[in-house]
Amino acid sequence: MKQKKAKGTGVHRGWVIGGVLVMLFVLACTSPAGLAESKDLDTQVRKLLDSTYWRDMNVPEVDGQTLHDIILEKGYTRALEIGTSTGHSGIWIAWALSKTGGRLTTIDIDRRRHQEALKNFETAGLSHLIDARLDDAHELVPTLEGPFDFVFSDADKGWYRNYLDALLPKLVVGGCYTTHNVSMPGRGRGWNEEYTRYLLSLPNLKTTIDSRGGGMSISYKVTE
């Protein structure tokens, strides 16, 4: 007689395997060798961050630190960045992902900035965690499969809503969508107010505005 497969067995097995992999990663990072390697990486990243003048539309340090801290706090592992520039924000994001076991995909259309970012990622010791793509985000973003649990949007401001509409279905519940150079409507700098109003109108997002640095919206997906 053919035996029926118990319902949920495959899902349960997936959880078990996933839990084991996470546990192995934590054990590797907390072993003496893993701690030493992590400390060395921290020193390498910090040296680059402190010794580089981050021009070319890169984020201020306070915003990079915020991105880093959100990822660490929530344990995100599947990150996407739209607008690499020369890599300042990407380094902060990938640095956090080095501690959560994650990876970053980052996109820029400018070849010179892309090449400089690659060098900076290599110098920081983070290249193995970053898939840096030289491409047109207008065309590439809608084709990305996801899912993602963290997104940082910092490319052409007039396309912000298009990026959000393409990626929100691919953002997991509990995930975070951040956008740079925005402000609360009617307050402060008045940056991208129409986009901010749209963000605040979406019932499946809980959005706050961080007015420090370059101004950043921080939106958590609460439901599908």
Q: What is the mean pLDDT of each run of 10 residues along the chain (224 residues)?
A: 40 43 51 68 95 88 97 98 97 98 98 97 97 98 97 96 98 98 77 91 97 94 96
Model pTM score? 0.83
What span, in angstroms and rounded, lies between the C-alpha atoms of 142 and 119?
27
pLDDT in the model for residue 6: 41
pLDDT in the model for residue 126: 98
pLDDT in the model for residue 4: 40
Residue extent(s) of CATH 3.40.50.150 domains in the chain: 52-221
Residues 6+ apart with CB under 8 A from 180: 59, 63, 83, 89, 152, 153, 154, 214, 215, 216
Homologous superfamily, domain 52-221: Vaccinia Virus protein VP39 (3.40.50.150)
Residues 6+ apart with CB under 8 A from 195: 157, 160, 161, 164, 179, 182
pLDDT in the model for residue 39: 87
